[in-house]
Structure formats: structure tokens, C-alpha cells
Amino acid sequence: MSRAKILHLHSTFDMGGKEARTVKLMNHFGDAAEHTVLVGDGEALGARDAIDPNIDVAFPGDAAPSLLGKPGPARYLKLADYFKKFDLVLSYNWGAMDGVMAHTLLGGAAGVPALIHHEDGFNEDENEKLNWKRNWFRIGGLRRAHALVVPSKTLEKIALDVWKQPAARLLHIPNGIDVDAYRKPPDKDAFPGLCKAKGEVVVGTVAGLRRVKNLPRLVRAVAQAGSHIRLAIAGEGPARGEIMAEAQRIGISDHVLMPGFLAEPWRYVGLFDIFALSSDSEQYPISLVEAMAAGCAIVSTDVGDVRNMVAKGNLPYIVARDDEAALGPAIAELARDKALRSKLGLANAQLAQREYRDETMFERYRMLYGKAMGRPDFARQQA
């Protein structure tokens, strides 16, 4: 049986939640598929390094139609014509909506494959309020989509109520992880520069360094929580300079470690005493699931599905998004109480083992993609 040819449409491909899931699925499907990835920002390709070297994947860059530019018939025609090379088109978030609209307007032409759209959340420009123009564009653009996939209950409600998507075409597929990998002891050398002195507590996070993650807020919270606390941030992105500038401004730059993107988070997340999120917007943060599986106590802003994801005992440490004054004390309280951190970490790990296994996610995506391609063999091939 020939391999499925799958096209992915991403605005950026630095490592974040949607990119991590895309890479994981590519690696899981193995030689059942070959992949082509169109990226709007050709400089943002950090997640490419996490793709298994044995996977057949191409990043055509300027050799393919651009996802950027003014919407219009000429661009849409080029995109739709390009789609004909593939068995399935997978689009991700607002940055790929021109591809979605091209498919809707021209997808009825012979040879244009099915398209499945994935929505994982919003950037800072829609933190406070959804953009009504984008809402209307989504309503119109998604009319021909085979399916819309969301990882969170929050997004599911938005898709139904705001984007007017038919329930029959909407799938809620929570992101999963290899929870068993996180049961292993972490590698003390896996996070460069992380060497705790006696009495130190490490607050860690894994995130794309974008403004929506509001990591300067976390820098200030760690500074407020105590001088014995260090902050470890794994990730890369355009907000790096802003984060370091804030650490320098308040005098804790020597307590902040930012080694860049680190693959294989199961090797180092368990080194954190506390895992923290300070985001303005999330939906279903996969890094949170990873930290739970590694046995971390969690401190987070109350965004997306976070409150529904953590163990019940951890709920007092999920603080209102705009209550920055509460973030530091939440970190400080857990930093003082090792026994409490252990208790919450164990509860989070047990919940992750029950609810967040990636085998379930793999199966649902195999079946969805196989059905869209008319290839039930694809759904069975990797079972």
C-alpha cells in the first residue's frame, strides 16, 4: 500500500503545543505517511529538529505557495492547485486560515483532497476578546472542512457557539503524552546549568517564548516568592530578550536559566520542584500534562482548561489570570512545603496516568485521518 501524502499548514513551526503534537503524530505514523510542511514564517522551524530522522518530511519554503499575503483569488488558486499533490491537508490555527479559505472556495474542483482544521488557542491579539472579523472568516472558511479538531472544552464551546460549527463535524481530542516515559527518574544533566544548591527550589516551565505566555510575569512572581528560588525556562521564541530584560531589571538574572529549546522533556521536567504557567491564554497546555506525569506540583494562571486538568488538591494554586499578586505567594507557599509538593505531585501523576495517555490520542487521529482520506488501512496500519 502506498504511503499517504499529507500536507501541513502552519504559521510557525517553533516548538509549542500544536507543533509538539504534529511531530509526535508524524513520528508515530512512521513510514505509513510522507509529510510536507508549509510554514508562513520560514525562520521559525525549531520543532523540525524533533522529527525522527527516518520520517519522510519536506519543508519546501519558497518552492511552494506562501501562506502569507493579501487574501485573493490568485493566491487561493495557487494554494488549491498545490493541494492536489496530496491525499490530505491539515491546517493549524488562525495563521493557516488562508489555506482553509482557498480549500473552501476551490475545494470542489477535481483532485483537491479533504482538509481537517485544528484549533489550539489564541495569541495575544485575541486574549481579551475574539476578533469578530476572524470569527466571520472562520465561519465562512470552515464550511468545506472535513472536520474541526480542538483539544479543550473551552475551544469546543467557542467552536459551537461563536464559529457556528456543526456538532457532527467537531471533534474534541485531548492531547496525550507518553506518560510512562515520565515515570522514569529525570536526567540531572538534561537541563544545562541546572545545579541546585542546598535549600534552593526550582520553578520550571516549558514554553514557546511568545508574549502570550507572559513569562515576564513569571519572572516577577519568582522574584517575589523568595531569593532561594530559581527559574528554569525551556523554550525558544521572539520574547527571549523581553524576558531576560525583565530579569535584569529586577535583579534576578543570575537566578534565571534559559538554555533554549530542549527536546525530550521527560528527561528534565522531573527536575523542577514546581511547574508554573503564567500565560494570558492557553487551551490545553501539553507542557502541563507532561509536568503532571513527571510528578510536579503546579502553579498556573486560570486559563483554558487548566483548572479542569490538574488534581483536585492542586486547585488552590491555580490563580486568576489577571491577579499577578497571587502568583508569587502561590509559588512561595509550595516552595516552603516539600511534603505538600510531593503530595500534589503524586496526585497529578496518578491523574495523568489515568486520563492523558497518548495511545488514546493516536487512535483517534489515525481513525480521523484515515476516514478523511478514504483509507481505512491507514487507521489500522499503526494500531
Residues 295, 367, single domain; the answer is no
Residues 271, 158, single domain; the answer is no
CA 350 to chain centre: 22
Residues 159, 292, single domain; the answer is no
Rounded CA separation 98/80 (Å): 10
pTM for the predicted model, two decimal places: 0.74
The pLDDT tens digits for 71-123 are 888 999 999 999 999 999 999 999 999 999 999 998 777 889 999 999 987 76
pLDDT tops 70 at residue 382: no
Would you state the pLDDT for residue 380? Answer: 66
Residues 184, 110, single domain; the answer is no
Would you state the pLDDT for residue 69? Answer: 87
Would you state the pLDDT for residue 20? Answer: 87
pLDDT tops 70 at residue 381: no
Res. 200 pLDDT band, cuts 50 70 90: very high
pLDDT tops 80 at residue 25: yes
Residues 117, 191, single domain; the answer is no
Instruction: Output the nine-digit C-alpha cell for 239.
Output: 520574547
Residues 243, 278, single domain; the answer is yes
Total number of domains constituting the chain: 2
Residues 112, 206, single domain; the answer is no
pLDDT tops 60 at residue 340: yes
The mean pLDDT value of the chain amounts to 92
Would you state the pLDDT for residue 116? Answer: 98
Residues 164, 185, single domain; the answer is no
Q: Average pLDDT, stretch 147-162?
A: 93
Q: Average pLDDT, stretch 168-194?
A: 93
Residues 252, 290, single domain; the answer is yes
Residues 311, 247, single domain; the answer is yes
Res. 129 pLDDT band, cuts 50 70 90: confident
Domain residues for 12?
4-176+358-381
Residues 208, 287, single domain; the answer is yes
Question: Which amino acid would we find at residue 326?
Answer: A
> Which residues touch 321 (CB under 8 Å, ≥6 apart)?
280, 301, 302, 303
> What CATH number corresponds to the domain at position 349?
3.40.50.2000
Three-state secondary structure string covering the chain:
CCCEEEEEEECCCCCCHHHHHHHHHHHHHHHHEEEEEEECCCCCCHHHHHCCCCCCEECCHHHCCCCCCCCCHHHHHHHHHHHCCCCEEEEECHHHHHHHHHHHHHCCCCCCCEEEEECCCCCHHHCCCCCHHHHHHHHHHHHHCCEEEECCHHHHHHHHHCCCCCHHHEEECCCCECHHHHHCCCCCCCCCCCCCCCCCEEEEEECCCCHHHCHHHHHHHHHHHCCCEEEEEECCCCCHHHHHHHHHHCCCHHHEEEEECCCCHHHCHHHCCEEEECCCCCCCCHHHHHHHHCCCEEEEECCCCHHHHCCHHHHHHEECCCCHHHHHHHHHHHHHCHHHHHHHHHHHHHHHHHHCEHHHHHHHHHHHHHHHHCCHHHHHHCC
Res. 245 pLDDT band, cuts 50 70 90: very high
Residues 373, 271, single domain; the answer is no
